[in-house]
C-alpha cells in the first residue's frame, strides 16, 4: 500500500511566529498562503504544514498521488483502495471516502494513542 507524500500538519496559534521559527531550522515555504491561514514548509524531503485555526491538534498527513515535491506520481494507490485495505484490517475510520466517486477525497483515522492521521488525495 502506497500512502504517498508524508508531512506533519501542525495546528499553530500564530502562523507568522511559527513560520519564523521553522525558517530558523532551515525550512522554506513551498506552498500555502498566509492570507488563507496555512503554509507548507520544506527542508530537504521533510515537510511541515502550519495551519492556524483550521483544526484541533496535530496530525500525520499522507497524500496519495504526490511525491515529496507535490509532483504527481504516475502510479499510486487511490484513497478508496487504501480505505478498503484498512477496513479489511479492522481499522475504524473516523471519516470515510465516498466509494462511488473518483478523484480528490480524504479519510481520517486515529492510531491506538488517539493521534489523528489524514490520508488526503488531491487528484
Query: Residue 22: what pLDDT?
Result: 98
CA distance 67 to 65: 7
Query: Residue 57: what pLDDT?
Result: 92
Choose among 117, 79, 85, 119: nearest CA to 99. 79
Query: Residue 23: what pLDDT?
Result: 98
Three-class SS of residue 19?
Answer: helix
Query: Residue 94: what pLDDT?
Result: 96
Outline where the chain has alpha helix (H). 15-24, 79-88
CA distance 43 to 35: 22
Query: Residue 47: what pLDDT?
Result: 97
Ranges of residues in the chain whose predicted pLDDT is under 50: none
Amino acid at each position: 500500500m502506497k500512502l504517498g507524500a508524508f508531512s506533519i500538519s501542525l495546528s499553530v496559534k500564530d502562523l507568522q511566529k511559527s513560520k519564523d521559527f521553522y525558517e530558523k531550522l532551515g525550512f522554506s515555504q513551498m506552498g500555502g498562503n498566509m492570507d488563507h491561514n496555512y503554509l507548507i514548509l520544506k527542508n530537504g524531503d521533510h515537510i511541515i504544514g502550519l495551519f492556524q485555526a483550521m483544526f484541533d491538534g496535530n496530525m500525520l498527513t499522507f497524500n496519495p498521488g504526490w511525491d515529496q515535491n507535490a509532483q504527481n506520481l504516475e502510479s499510486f494507490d487511490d484513497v478508496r483502495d487504501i480505505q478498503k485495505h484498512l477496513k479489511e484490517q479492522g481499522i475504524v475510520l473516523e471519516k470515510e471516502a465516498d466509494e462511488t466517486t473518483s478523484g480528490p477525497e480524504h479519510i481520517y483515522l486515529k492510531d491506538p494513542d488517539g493521534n489523528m492521521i489524514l490520508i488526503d488525495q488531491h487528484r
